[in-house]
Amino acid sequence: MTMLYPIQDTFVRGEISPRLHARASLDLYRGALSRCENFLALPHGGIRKRGGTYFCAEVKDSSKATRLIPFIFSADQAYALEFGDLYIRVHAYGARVGTVEVATPYLEADLFDLQFVQSADQMWITHKNHLPQVLTRTAHTTWTLAEFVFLDGPYDDINTSATTLTPAETGAVHPAMTSDTLPSGTAASSAGTAFHVFDRDNGTNLSFGATTGDVSYDFASATTKVCDAYWIRARASGNPRAAVAWDFQGFDGTNWISLDSRTAETGWSRREVRFYEFQNETAYQSYRLNISGSEDDSNLDIAEMGWHEDGDTQTPFDLTASSIVGINGGTGFQTSDVGRTIRLLGSDAVWRWARITSRTSATVVKIRLYGHALPNLSPIARWRLGTFVPGKYVESGSLYEERLAFSRKFSVYASATGDFDNFATGEKDDAALEFVQAGGGQANDITWIAESDGALIIGTLGGIRALSGSGIDEALTPSSFKNRRSRTFGCAPLRPVDAGQSFLFVTRSRKSIAELTQSATGKFTSEDVGQVSEHIPKQGVVELAFQTDPDPLLWFPLDNGELGGYTHQPSQEVRGMHRHRIAGTFSGSDWGMVESAIVTPGQDGNDDLWLIVKRTIGGTTRRTIEIKSVPFEYGEIADAFEVDCGLTYDGAAVGTVTGLDHLNGETVDALADGIVYHDLTVAAGAVSLPGGATAAKWQVGLPYEAGADTLELDVGGRDGSIVGRRKKVAKVILSLFETDTTGLEIASMQRGRWETVRIPSVVTPDSSANLFTGNVEVPIDDSWEGQGRVKIRHTNPTPCTIRAFTPVFDAEA
């Protein structure tokens, strides 16, 4: 027999899969554990007991699933949004924000299918069964939710059936005039026949007989309307004699107000139509075109004009289909089409768009027309219906190169540059974009999209693609794009997280986590970061949250209610998974069920990890919002917070604290002025210290235990491996940092008798715990069948950090 002293001074690989417990030849083996529960692997190499969780609030309805979504305006303005059945509540830095509650269309069953993208004070929320919504923060306590309105797109394919759509109005502020006063209002001009420019007849002209003049239209009965665009048609024969300079004005009852001015509008051809738009939200009782110059030296003519009424203020008018063929698969208009857009190609070969405001029948809807007035009321054969209908709304979103992008099924839709509402496609570089079949050769649904350096990355069920400009550092435009496939895993519809130099995402099965790294411009690769710990994510990943400070940690709730953790610092070869069981019980499980997790910037420079935890308390299901405490480092033990769903009291010395109604009937631990108290019972929201004791600083909440089990170390064999050979541990040498050793125990994996770490100097005269840093030896009661493995646990509500572990054992030579 030979006495061996193998040191394990790193645990950066965390808890590895049972399938690897005999792979002692792997480099990762010496930095791994067989169990790492409520300990987390530190980038420095050791393991530290996780911090406890502060109780923030109970959710609105504990009987229903609830989800958290982060809303981060900046590093010092961050919120946790509580999404429940048909509502949102707002929390910040551990407390609810006033009485803010926003009604939503999202049912309990929708919550974990929601995806979101945020820019400053707005967040776009998507779900395939709901129109996209925009959540807006206008003040700390003022939040609103409204449907997101797509302007002019996206659309289905152009109609190819014989069905036509006939409008009842043109969308102009003026009707088709048959005289200067009929059918309503008054057309007037400085010379000529004014109504000819409003009669929808291209063959009649308004001739001024001079090179300047004006034409106006005044509404009847002091009516006012908002005009925001106009078009002008040149005469059909001879010299166009068109206007080259003018001012479009509105009359407010006293003055003519300039709304749009043009100069040097030269080079007109016969029958040419030019379109002009301007910003106006004011309703005027009259409008006029005041012309100051003509292309002709002696005369000025206009064939026709259309002055558009702002679509949002229009009275909706009928749009009548000649049949139901081509509309919603031959079923005609549906009530679900309300809010849907339609694109219409007028007889002047110019596209306009409209929004359906109501449905009258399968062939008749009412619309508001946007952009420009139609030239006439002729039936329209070429039209396109908006692509979004119930069950087929957009499913995910992202920002990329000043565009707001959404995805659905196989397609990606991106807004015009800097205009997040405008999805009208075009050929200009800043026009909106539409990419179909973004899933590539295989028809794989898109599950998420995300912004990355130089590309919009598209996660699909079959893998990841990168959408970018066609050249290096070239912007994505309608005429310059690449859509590249990368050799990666398929993706689950769970939002990925940015982990600094890479992305972390959940694979299609939801049973593994992969890292996406950029191997070249626009090309990506991925690897399963959890393969060595595959048994942890195999429980089923619910969502991802990444914490940057104080340590790089990925957190992921699992279907079994555990909270998975992953210490991720690949530049230092730190890749270790660990499991966390939040204190409490639920339906037979010996831990509270973590249902949701997010990360937001905290007030102290550390990131806050927010959790929703489901427990059975007093025979009732309770769901609570909690924040994991920051790691204990270099402080006083009385400040350590190592309990779950707990609260802090800091004030005058008292023997009883209140405010614990959320834990009524539960057995709790307390750290009171640094003294540990176990098995206290909460009654009527209060808990008392035994024996009349008092304390000025309390940390009280549900107790939890941190545990680590070692692997069989393969060292010292003169004739090969000693894995499987008999060995017996005599003692363990631990290197500890800021650890309360009174709560630290060690046992043989075989005998299982727990040995307390005893260092007399760590308890002060007033019985408060002290923190020990250094090496300590602990004798072990082991047998020759123990395989040289031990288990470690820490049971007090106090800190524990293990820097290194050395089992001293005899082994067969």
Give the CATH number of the domain where residue 791 resides.
Answer: 2.60.120
> Facing residues of 247 across strands?
261, 290
- Which residue in the block uniquely carries the two structure tokens 């031959």? 330
In a domain, 231, yes or no: yes
Query: Which domain-ending residue is among 323, 358, 385?
Result: 385
The tally of CA atoms less than 13 A away on the side-chain side of residue 13 is 21
Burial code of 142-164, b = ≥16 C-beta within 10 A, e = fewer?
A: ebebeebebbbbbbeeebeeebb
Within its chain, how far is the Cα of 137 from the centroid?
Answer: 16
Query: For residue 439, what pLDDT is reported?
Result: 45
Number of domains present in the structure of the chain: 4
Query: For residue 710, what pLDDT is reported?
Result: 93
Backbone torsion region of residue 196, taken as left when φ is above 0, otherwise alpha when ψ lies between -120 and 50, otherwise beta: alpha
Residues 16 and 42 both lie in one domain: yes
Burial zone of 486 (CB within 10 Å; 0-12 exposed, 13-18 middle, 19+ buried): buried
Residue of 773, 775, 754, 777 lying closest to 762 (CA atoms) = 773
Q: What is the mean pLDDT of residues 498-515?
A: 93
In a domain, 552, yes or no: no
Asked if residue 232 has pLDDT above 60, the reply is yes
Asked if residue 761 has pLDDT above 50, the reply is no
Asked if residue 719 has pLDDT above 70, the reply is no
Residues 304 and 359 both lie in one domain: no
CB neighbours (10 Å) of residue 365? 27
Q: What six digits make up the tokens of 793?
A: 């646990």
Please tell me which residue, 25 or 268, carries the higher pLDDT value: 268
In a domain, 86, yes or no: no
Within its chain, how far is the Cα of 369 from the centroid?
Answer: 33
Distance CA 199, CA 376 (A): 9
Range in 188-192, 293-297, 404-408, 556-560 the model is least confident about: 293-297
| Secondary structure (DSSP) of 12-24 | TTEEPPGGGTT-T
Residues 251 and 308 both lie in one domain: yes
Query: For residue 588, what pLDDT is reported?
Result: 83
The tally of CA atoms less than 13 A away on the side-chain side of residue 766 is 9
Q: What six digits make up the tokens of 338?
A: 């309300």
Encoded amino acid at 639, one letter: D
Range in 305-319, 383-397, 726-740, 760-774 the model is least confident about: 760-774
In a domain, 196, yes or no: yes
Range in 404-413, 460-469, 515-524, 678-687 the model is least confident about: 515-524
Query: Which domain-ending residue is among 680, 703, 726?
Result: 703
Distance CA 85, CA 77 (A): 26
Rg (CA), the chain: 35
Distance CA 759, CA 756 (A): 9
Is it true that the peptide bond before 154 is cis, omega within 30 degrees of 0? yes
User: pLDDT of 147-170, one tens digit each?
Assistant: 998 888 889 889 999 999 999 999
Residues 304 and 322 both lie in one domain: no
Query: For residue 367, what pLDDT is reported?
Result: 98
In a domain, 302, yes or no: yes
Residues 281 and 367 both lie in one domain: no
In a domain, 518, yes or no: no
**Contact (Cβ atoms closer than 8 angstroms) between residue 291 and residue 245:** yes
Distance CA 791, CA 755 (A): 10
Range in 87-91, 348-352, 608-612 the model is least confident about: 348-352
Residues 711 and 781 both lie in one domain: yes
**Contact (Cβ atoms closer than 8 angstroms) between residue 145 and residue 102:** yes
**Contact (Cβ atoms closer than 8 angstroms) between residue 345 and residue 364:** no
Percent of the chain with pLDDT over 70: 95
Residues 324 and 294 both lie in one domain: no
Backbone torsion region of residue 696, taken as left when φ is above 0, otherwise alpha when ψ lies between -120 and 50, otherwise beta: alpha
User: pLDDT of 458-488, one tens digit each?
Assistant: 999 988 888 888 877 788 888 888 777 777 8
Domain that holds residue 31: 2-50+707-811
Mean pLDDT score of the chain: 92
Range in 131-140, 180-189, 215-224 the model is least confident about: 215-224
CB neighbours (10 Å) of residue 279? 7
Residues 654 and 772 both lie in one domain: no
Range in 91-95, 177-181, 459-463 the model is least confident about: 459-463
Would you say the C-alpha torsion 334, 326, 435, 422 has a positive or negative sign? negative
CB neighbours (10 Å) of residue 488? 22
Query: Which domain-ending residue is among 653, 677, 703?
Result: 703
Within its chain, how far is the Cα of 788 from the centroid?
Answer: 47
Bridging pattern class, strands 67-74 and 77-84: antiparallel
Distance CA 412, CA 458 (A): 9
Residues 266 and 286 both lie in one domain: yes
What CATH number does the domain containing 215 carry? 2.60.120.260
In a domain, 576, yes or no: no
Residues 279 and 191 both lie in one domain: yes
> Facing residues of 81 across strands?
69, 90
Within its chain, how far is the Cα of 356 from the centroid?
Answer: 29
Within its chain, how far is the Cα of 450 from the centroid?
Answer: 10
In a domain, 14, yes or no: yes
Residue of 394, 390, 338 lying closest to 366 (CA atoms) = 338
Residues 230 and 220 both lie in one domain: yes
Please tell me which residue, 520 or 30, carries the higher pLDDT value: 30
Encoded amino acid at 766, one letter: D
Q: What is the mean pLDDT of residues 70-83?
A: 96
Residues 662 and 650 both lie in one domain: yes
User: pLDDT of 419-443, one tens digit each?
Assistant: 998 898 888 899 998 887 644 456 7
- Three-state DSSP string of 210-277: CCCEEEEEECHHHCCECEEEEEEECCCCCCCCCEEEEEEEEECCCCEEEEEEECCCCCCCCCCEEEEE
Q: What pTM value is reported for the model? A: 0.88
Q: What is the mean pLDDT of residues 570-581?
A: 92
